[in-house]
Structure 1
Amino acid sequence: MTIDPGLRRLALRTLLAAFPGHTAPEWSTDLVEQGLAGYTIFGYNIADPAQVTALSAALRTARPNVLLAIDEEGGDVTRLAHRTGSPYPGNAALGAIGDLDLTRRVYHSIGVELARAGLNLNLAPTVDVNTATDNPVIGTRSFGADPMKVAAHAAAAVVGLQQAGVAACAKHFPGHGATVADSHLELPTVDVSAQVLRERELPPFAAVVAADAKAIMTAHIRVPALTGDDPATFSRAILVDLLRGEFGFTGAVVTDALEMKGASVAAGGIGPAAIRALQAGSDLLCVGADVDLALVEQLAATIAAAISSGELSLARVEEAAARCDALANWTMGATQQEPAPRLGYEAARRAIIVEGSLAGFEKPFVVQLRASHTIAEGVVPWGLSPHLNGTPQLAVAADQTSAEALIDAAHGRPIVLVGRHTHRNPAARTLVEQLAAAHPVAVVEMGWPASWRPHGAKAFVTTYGASHANGRAAAELLGLAH
């Protein structure tokens, strides 16, 4: 099939692709020269600050205003610091502190680091209201469960990022916080009335529009009251009538990754998902992480063919491409600023809450319970281990040990048990409760806080996240930091 070169270039202007490795393949720079909107930079593209700065510079030689996006939320979702953990606490910690200027300053510092690395679009902040305690994909990425608090911090985060010259992309519209399913793996449903949505999910998005967020990301979730059977990414009622018509948003609508099951399965493939997203009012199509030249060319050809056949309006795609161009051009105004490297560690210390007493835990045995990670988080180091001053420690899966074995390993020392979403794991809950009934135990919870507290524990410490900064704060609190 012959593709019209003009339509191919137009289609490319709506695509946010990806590539493997620490250097840009030749095809990736060729596509930028041919009009590709840009790339998402993932952890697998990053080795160290000098390398990622060189990578972005190489891509900018192909076109200075290429969009280089990244998921740099701070807290549990980091790409720049995926090898060590983020030096910033995430949204849950910032929401718990409740200092709006601190939130602005943290996000400004994140933005400064991104700008210095040559990255200009942050796929953050997450502004979902986390009302589902067991939400498997949002959790500590949220500022909290109160819509007004989340709205205020969301606006502060957007202002901070954009003061650094980095475009903010607030996510996931119209709200992923009430789900108990992960849209990477399936199509979640939020089956509540339009009134509940307006009172609970939507206030943060109204706030980020008012704060002049340059981009907003769609959610691959089904909201029957507004979207019918479709995910929000494919809904004009959500993206045009509500977001643009009612909220007055004029920036770029960015899709969540189209390779995610919540979009690709619902549409019957990534190509059909791209068509449906554009038809619904999306502007910048995030293809995903598993991308090569063949997939980009396939998507460009699919979009071009849909325009040629009349399935997709030429004017709609031109509108989308123009918004992507405007977003890229806005980012060209960034100036070099100085980051605040200690800010995140200071903030993490302010977030910690201690229930009970840590008296007697001066020389403990530290046990870290292994925990899973989400696709959004990826494999990132967490816990107290990087910060300990020689304190004896053990990492173990809850279902592969026993209270008796841990007590024996402690050799008379009290036990500090470090976990992440501990309440969600039945084996972990049982282990902690048995341990607390027989031995002095303090629990450090580094996931989303729940109401569960193990009976008999001497102390329960909540960090509101598992970043490098959160781990350091907990180790310092316990007097165990080197």
Structure 2
Amino acid sequence: MGIDPGLRRLALRTLLAAFTGTEPPAWALDLTAEGLAGFTLFGRNVAEPGQLARCTAALRAARPDVLIAIDEEGGDVTRLAHAVGSPYPGNAALGAVDDVAVTERVYRAIGTELAGLGVSVDFAPTVDVNTADDNPIIGTRSFGADPARVAAHAAAAVAGLQSTGVVACAKHFPGHGATVADSHHELPTVDVPAEVLRRRDLPPFAAVIGAGARAIMTAHIRVPALTGDLPATFSRAVLHDLLRTEYGFAGAVVTDALEMKGASVAAGGIAPAAVRALAAGADLLCIGSDVDAELVARVADEIAAAVRDGRLAEARLAEAVDRAAALAAWTGAAGAQPAPGLPRSVTRPAPEPVDDHLGYATARRAVRVEGVLTGLEKPLVVQVGATSTMAEGRVPWGLGPHLPGAEVHLVAAADADPAALRELAGDRPIVLVGRHLHRLTGARELVENLAATHPVTVVEMGWPSSWRPVGARAFITTYGASFANGRAAAEALGLAG
């Protein structure tokens, strides 16, 4: 028996695909016209503002209500500024500043830029409470380790984004902050009682629901107390009983990318993962970044087949389609009919002019200095290499762009020769720059070896820990590695050009 065309069209209306290149390929436009819910854009789709605006306009020409989403968190996760780094500090820096009015302004500025480029959904803010210093995937994407502080800033971020007409999609439900594994590569486990989640991880989600967030993204994490052996993305107890019933969320539930190992391995592939996520209560399915027409067709056909053979109720698929359509309607015009239970939107105010210096001024407020910053004229700058996560991508970071004419050496911590670096420095001080130095193999030993015989100042641009290197003259924490954070660090050192 063939696939029912009507069910296939319904299935398409729950899918967020992706494509390579800076303009939509023919298959993407064809599927958009057929009813595909929308697309997620990545750095590879962004060359410059004019190009991106043309790209989104081409998609809307195929169907005006197509959803166009992007991961633009500011800070370490940026797609608009992937070539140079974000002009805004990320959540960790905003949490360190702890001024909710500034957080709202930063997110309003991000939303204003996105709206002007034709992007309608921002997969932000990250509202996970980062309680694990060694968390490899959240870290500086979090507002902090205190649930109350994260909740306050999460609500402000949602208000700022959505004031511009851009959907805020808070992530990753029910909380990815206590993990020490990356769900891109495996299925992390948070093995705590449900009461701990309610006290520690869930307050920010309650806050964003109260602030009117239109979308919430699921986490590919296992919480045995709620999900058993399954990831939360496949758990009806999490997506329906907890999020919908207990917390009263009426917007769209969006999955994290189903190509991630935390989901695809558990389900036996992307297409089966899509079925299980829909059955659990998800409404929009991010297929992933490596997508073509064949994959979209395979996923849509699997969803349609699941309805036919009873794995997925047709009423559940129709409910998901309705929520996706309501989200698209809200992005299309002020006053659009929302999903049941959500307040009708009012006429959106015109966005205020963006302050070009907002990001840098905020990043400067976040910088913390321990020790003495003197005698730093013409230092040897040593930047310790660090890998990037799949969420971050390869975005430039460090002090180099902010120190014109300075001597900057890139080293791998595990392979660096302290004696050679001391010889290179001569009688000059050393400024050592890194990200997550406390958990980078060989980094602690390198810093403390240099500091034993040389004046060393450390600039930590990742998630800070309690570790402080023995012998270092000063320790600077920036709470992020964006372009704005780098500039702020250079200014704090008195070295900015």
Other-structure match for 1:300: 300
Tell me whether 392-401 or 166-175 shows the greater mean CA deviation. Answer: 392-401
RMSD: 1.0
Other-structure match for 2:343: none
Give the secondary structure class of the aligned counterpart of 1:359. Answer: coil
Pair 1:291 & 2:291 matched? yes
Opposite residue 458 of structure 2, the aligned amino acid is V
Residue 400 of structure 1 and its aligned partner are, at CA, apart by 2.4
Residue-by-residue CA offset, 1:276-295 (whole Å, 9 max, x unaligned) = 00000000000000000000
* Contact persistence 1:362–1:478 (CA under 8 A): no
Residue-by-residue CA offset, 1:191-230 (whole Å, 9 max, x unaligned) = 0011111100100000000001000000000001111111
Decide which of 369, 378, 382 is 1:354's aligned counterpart: 369
Other-structure match for 2:244: 244
Tell me whether 392-401 or 412-421 shows the greater mean CA deviation. Answer: 392-401
Give the secondary structure class of the aligned counterpart of 2:153. Answer: helix
Residue 160 of structure 1 and its aligned partner are, at CA, apart by 0.3
Aligned positions of 1:161-310 closer than 5 A: 161-310=161-310
Other-structure match for 1:391: 406
Tell me whether 455-464 or 392-401 shows the greater mean CA deviation. Answer: 392-401
Residue 341 of structure 1 and its aligned partner are, at CA, apart by 2.3
Give the secondary structure class of the aligned counterpart of 2:485. Answer: helix
* Contact persistence 1:367–1:395 (CA under 8 A): yes
Distance in structure 2 (CA, Å) of the matches to 1:377 and 1:449: 18
Decide which of 489, 493, 497 is 1:474's aligned counterpart: 489
Other-structure match for 1:136: 136
Distance in structure 2 (CA, Å) of the matches to 1:283 and 1:418: 43
* Contact persistence 2:414–2:441 (CA under 8 A): no
Distance in structure 2 (CA, Å) of the matches to 1:362 and 1:327: 54
Aligned positions of 1:66-105 closer than 5 A: 66-105=66-105
Give the secondary structure class of the aligned counterpart of 2:253. Answer: strand
Residue-by-residue CA offset, 1:392-412 (whole Å, 9 max, x unaligned) = 221111222222111111131
Opposite residue 456 of structure 1, the aligned amino acid is G
Distance in structure 2 (CA, Å) of the matches to 1:45 and 1:426: 34
Residue 428 of structure 1 and its aligned partner are, at CA, apart by 1.0
* Contact persistence 1:89–1:469 (CA under 8 A): yes
Give the secondary structure class of the aligned counterpart of 1:381. Answer: coil
Pair 1:417 & 2:419 matched? no
Opposite residue 215 of structure 1, the aligned amino acid is A
Aligned positions of 1:4-83 closer than 5 A: 4-83=4-83
Residue-by-residue CA offset, 1:54-81 (whole Å, 9 max, x unaligned) = 1000000011111000000000000010
Distance in structure 1 (CA, Å) of the matches to 2:266 and 2:356: 43
Other-structure match for 1:376: 391
Decide which of 446, 470, 493 is 1:431's aligned counterpart: 446
Residue 3 of structure 1 and its aligned partner are, at CA, apart by 2.1
* Contact persistence 1:219–1:256 (CA under 8 A): yes
Distance in structure 2 (CA, Å) of the matches to 1:410 and 1:163: 51
Distance in structure 1 (CA, Å) of the matches to 2:326 and 2:393: 31
* Contact persistence 1:110–1:161 (CA under 8 A): yes
Distance in structure 2 (CA, Å) of the matches to 1:41 and 1:426: 33
* Contact persistence 2:432–2:459 (CA under 8 A): yes
Distance in structure 2 (CA, Å) of the matches to 1:349 and 1:266: 43
Which residues of structure 1 form unaligned runs of 5+?
none
Residue 481 of structure 1 and its aligned partner are, at CA, apart by 1.5
Distance in structure 2 (CA, Å) of the matches to 1:258 and 1:341: 36
Residue-by-residue CA offset, 1:140-173 (whole Å, 9 max, x unaligned) = 0000000011001000000000001100000000
Tell me whether 388-397 or 187-196 shows the greater mean CA deviation. Answer: 388-397
* Contact persistence 1:389–1:480 (CA under 8 A): no
Distance in structure 2 (CA, Å) of the matches to 1:426 and 1:252: 41
TM-score, normalised by the number of residues in structure 1: 0.99
Pair 1:342 & 2:343 matched? no
Distance in structure 1 (CA, Å) of the matches to 2:34 and 2:469: 59
Residue-by-residue CA offset, 1:29-58 (whole Å, 9 max, x unaligned) = 111111100000001111111111110000
Opposite residue 478 of structure 2, the aligned amino acid is T
Distance in structure 2 (CA, Å) of the matches to 1:426 and 1:321: 47
Opposite residue 464 of structure 1, the aligned amino acid is Y
Distance in structure 2 (CA, Å) of the matches to 1:398 and 1:200: 34
Distance in structure 2 (CA, Å) of the matches to 1:311 and 1:477: 59
Distance in structure 1 (CA, Å) of the matches to 2:333 and 2:354: 18
Tell me whether 399-408 or 137-146 shows the greater mean CA deviation. Answer: 399-408
Which residues of structure 2 form unaligned runs of 5+?
335-347
* Contact persistence 2:413–2:441 (CA under 8 A): no
Distance in structure 1 (CA, Å) of the matches to 2:412 and 2:451: 17
Tell me whether 459-468 or 334-343 shows the greater mean CA deviation. Answer: 334-343
* Contact persistence 1:271–1:302 (CA under 8 A): yes
Distance in structure 1 (CA, Å) of the matches to 2:133 and 2:155: 23
Tell me whether 203-212 or 398-407 shows the greater mean CA deviation. Answer: 398-407
Other-structure match for 2:145: 145
Give the secondary structure class of the aligned counterpart of 1:169. Answer: strand
Residue-by-residue CA offset, 1:9-46 (whole Å, 9 max, x unaligned) = 10000000001111100110111111100000001111
Residue-by-residue CA offset, 1:356-402 (whole Å, 9 max, x unaligned) = 00111132111111111111101000000111131222111122222
